[in-house]
Chains A and B, each alone.
Chain A
Amino acid sequence: MAKHETPLLDQLESGPWPSFVSDLKRQAEKKPECWDILGILELSYKDRITHWKHGGIVGVFGYGGGIVGRYADVPKLFPGVEHFHTIRVAQPSSKYYSTANLRQLMDLWEKHGSGMTNFHGSTGDIILLGTRTENLEPFFWDLTHDMGQDLGGSGSNLRTPANCVGQSRCEWSCYDTEEVCYHLTMHYQDEIHRPAFPYKFKFKFSGCPNDCVAAIARSDVSVIGTWRDNIRIDQAAVKEYVAGNYPPNGGAHSGRDWGKFDLQKEVIDLCPTECMWMEGDELKIDDKECTRCMHCINVMPRALRPGADQGASVCVGAKAPILDGAQFSTLIVPFMKVSKDNEFEELIEFIEGIWDWWMEVGKNRERVGETMQRVGLPTFLQVMGIDPIPQHVKEPRSNPYVFWKEEEVEGGFERDIVEFRAKHAA
């Protein structure tokens, strides 16, 4: 595999941001197939269309997913990427690594693949980018035998779950996002590796409503940490903020002069429910009115902390636009304890309640959010055995097209027109 002229891509080597082109070229010195990655990409830059053939079904025995097959449409020009399959490798919670682990994985990939990766795919997996079909089983053998690691998910199954950094390095995380992500990933290995669903299904775990893993936008079951008691206030620290001794928002705005910190303007007046006020030099919060948006805590991390009675809100149904439009997850369980003490029993029961129903009624390639739209939220709640509460809606419906079941209405639906006519002539 020879070096190709890449006049267009060469222009992406200048500038301050790290250049993927320079990195590819450096790798090509050791792995010549990288010249062909550059070559086929240069051709796409010239033709302004992709040069990968449609689809590609490859994998390893025992699994129905984990590898995305890909073939070049110009294999003669670029034999190094004739096969260019991607392997998804399951990543550790929060994406912490030891260098020993990463070096071993990189050695394996140098041996079996192109030498290029994505750290990480959007769902969370380590992406090993580009190898031939005949390398898949040997790589998988080494990955499982030498490293004790496994593939991630692809296809109509449970995809690789992911979480925010959680309690390992954040003071706001209201449950152990790492542990629940790991635990559920292990618990549902079969659902990850062997597609059994109408379509894909994702879990994401965020420790608080800042939602650093974007659970509400990018997962079918979105578990977002919260609390149900009072925000913990350190009044002495509040005074330090007012005095200008602590930087607001942890110093996040220090690159610009926004003036002296103004507690009234920056916190109290921005609270979405207007439930905060100063009483003398004490900050007060009417916690019954607080919707736990995190703003005041974000601005004063040294003075305010989430409450101590912690758990999570569970929302369901986020998806991208195809087919019926993009959806965020919708609130189903306002507060759930998420605890390892009972092996996350409540959450598991909830998830399996959704699956039992959706696997039965979900249409081919219908995300659960679309199934919920099709049958309606009331039906979904009934299926899940959940009583309706005002928290389930942003607002009550405004149209009057309300369904009633026959048993809900006195006398039922069976009526006699003759009886009706006796009182009301035509």
Chain B
Amino acid sequence: MGYDPTKPMEGRISDLGPPNYEQFFPPVIKANKGKWLWHEILQPGVLVHKSETGDEVYTVRCGTCRLVSVEYIREVCDIADKHCDGFLRFTTRNNVEFMVDSKEKVQPLLDTLAGLGNRFPVGGTGAGLTNIVHTQGWVHCHTPATDASGVVKAVMDELFEYFTSMKLPAQVRIALACCLNMCGAVHASDIAILGIHRKPPMIDHSRITGVCELPLAIASCPLGAVKPAKAEVDGKEIKTVKVNVERCMFCGNCYTMCPAMPLADPEGDGIAILVGGKVSNRISAPKFSKLVIPFLPNTTPRWPETVQAVKQILEAYAADAKKYERVGEWAERIGWEKFFEKCDIPFTMKSIDDYRLAYDTWRTTTQFKYTSHIK
């Protein structure tokens, strides 16, 4: 028997939660949990962990495009069946990891992966670039200002050598969010790619009454730009909203709440670049990413302006930062004026904060460096 739509609650099972993780542990993980002593990165993408029992586990990390098919997952399973006793895991940055319990088993696994075209690039460890945490984009979401999968592919193609090597001062985390809901990690990444709008919402007066709870749309605006209003539709006066265009900074949150306020636009929409965020507590406290490029266009399908900007920042950082220094630590040490100069990014008014606690970000000291910005 299966689901019976005439008796929907009959035989229903609920509140099971996820499967217990322990049943999916490779034997060497099960035997050594909590007993690990140290680890080492043998080569880009290959880790070894040593246990106090003397056991070792070797992990091979591969990049994935996160948006993957059933066929791809079956291919992952084939690899794990062949080399890893039928076990595998995914990382918090959507890489896939294959584990084996002896060094002799590593090379055959690497050979299998290398034989699968470019589908399983090995890397993403140490002081390199790993996978880009990203969102739904035009593949599934209704509020994006840019795509996710396509931009990520374009950026990773260009920076691929950094995924398969470990030659940066520290690991570099790139993240992408297709609107400023910032699903994922854009607000705390070394380099962040963020979809933005630049035009206020249109208001569909003919639909708003039926589809929108007006007080929610009004309360959704961080700047109080949405006000109640009246409009005439088919000779009848209806309740609607108006947007004070001077106060609107195009966040799109009113559209999230109200389907009658769409704002997507092919020319208006694009990408902003933020840099210098981190989540770890290593040496310095976690940092938010800061906006350094206010707008780059949505140039489909390969976003060359965005790719170039990310590469420029990454390479300026790689050339100048000290060992262990994250992008944000580097920028703060040299000063943001130097960051803009070294990355060859024009500084614009858009990078100056004007939202609420903005004052704390202005320079209330005479300490600054003379850069090309001072004429």
Q: Is B294 in contact with chain A by the CB < 8 A criterion?
A: no
**Contact present for A96 and B68 (CB under 8 Å):** no
Cα(A238)–Cα(B159), bound, Å: 35
Whether A101 touches B266, Cβ cut-off 8 Å, given contacts A141-B2, A150-B14, A164-B92, is: no
Whether A27 touches B121, Cβ cut-off 8 Å, given contacts A17-B65, A250-B126, is: no
Whether A176 touches B34, Cβ cut-off 8 Å, given contacts A26-B71, A106-B73, is: yes
A89 to chain B, nearest CB (A): 8
B81 to chain A, nearest CB (A): 5
Binds B, one of A186-194, A276-284, A349-357: A186-194
B65-87 residues at the A interface, CB under 8 angstroms: 65-74, 76-77, 80-81, 86-87
**Contact present for B138 and A50 (CB under 8 Å):** yes
Whether A49 touches B288, Cβ cut-off 8 Å, given contacts A144-B16, A149-B19, A169-B36, is: no
A218-262 interface code vs B (CB 8 A; 1 in, 0 out): 100000000000000000000000000001011111111010000
B12-44 interface code vs A (CB 8 A; 1 in, 0 out): 111111111101111001000110111111111
**Contact present for A186 and B187 (CB under 8 Å):** no
**Contact present for B65 and A20 (CB under 8 Å):** yes
Number of interface residues of B (CB under 8 A): 133
**Contact present for A99 and B77 (CB under 8 Å):** yes
Q: Is A345 in contact with chain B by the CB < 8 A criterion?
A: no
**Contact present for A102 and B77 (CB under 8 Å):** yes
Cα(A46)–Cα(B150), bound, Å: 13
Whether A70 touches B24, Cβ cut-off 8 Å, given contacts A119-B66, A211-B281, A328-B188, is: no
**Contact present for B25 and A328 (CB under 8 Å):** no
**Contact present for B73 and A119 (CB under 8 Å):** yes
Cα(A247)–Cα(B133), bound, Å: 29
**Contact present for A247 and B40 (CB under 8 Å):** yes
CB < 8 Å: which of A34, A44, A122 contacts B133?
Answer: A122
Number of chain A interface residues as a range: 35 or more
A105-119 interface code vs B (CB 8 A; 1 in, 0 out): 010011000011111
Cα(A20)–Cα(B152), bound, Å: 10
B317 to chain A, nearest CB (A): 13
**Contact present for B150 and A30 (CB under 8 Å):** no
B317-341 residues at the A interface, CB under 8 angstroms: 323-324
**Contact present for B181 and A322 (CB under 8 Å):** yes
**Contact present for A322 and B251 (CB under 8 Å):** yes
**Contact present for B41 and A254 (CB under 8 Å):** yes
A280-321 residues at the B interface, CB under 8 angstroms: 291-295, 298-299, 301-302, 305, 320-321
Cα(A101)–Cα(B22), bound, Å: 13
Q: Is B182 in contact with chain A by the CB < 8 A criterion?
A: yes
Which of chain A's residues has its CB closest to B153's CB?
A12
**Contact present for A270 and B17 (CB under 8 Å):** no
B47-74 interface code vs A (CB 8 A; 1 in, 0 out): 1010000000101000111111111111
**Contact present for A117 and B70 (CB under 8 Å):** yes
A residues within 8 A CB of B357? Answer: 325
Cα(A406)–Cα(B163), bound, Å: 61
Cα(A61)–Cα(B5), bound, Å: 11
**Contact present for B73 and A102 (CB under 8 Å):** yes
B residues within 8 A CB of A62? Answer: 9, 12, 14
Q: Is A3 in contact with chain B by the CB < 8 A criterion?
A: no
CB < 8 Å: which of B153, B167, B300 contacts A19?
Answer: B153
Binds A, one of B104-112, B140-148, B364-372: B140-148
A53-93 interface code vs B (CB 8 A; 1 in, 0 out): 11100000111000010100000000000001010001111
Whether A210 touches B281, Cβ cut-off 8 Å, given contacts A27-B69, A110-B70, A119-B64, is: yes
Q: Is B253 in contact with chain A by the CB < 8 A criterion?
A: yes
Which of chain A's residues has its CB closest to B159's CB?
A17
A268 to chain B, nearest CB (A): 12
CB < 8 Å: which of B92, B222, B262 contacts A322?
Answer: B222
Cα(A299)–Cα(B57), bound, Å: 20
Whether A116 touches B67, Cβ cut-off 8 Å, given contacts A96-B87, A171-B37, is: yes
B residues within 8 A CB of A372? Answer: none
**Contact present for A86 and B21 (CB under 8 Å):** no
**Contact present for A266 and B14 (CB under 8 Å):** no
Whether A92 touches B19, Cβ cut-off 8 Å, given contacts A17-B157, A145-B13, A169-B59, is: yes
Give 5 CB contacts A-B under 8 Å: A62-B14, A102-B76, A253-B167, A255-B167, A323-B220
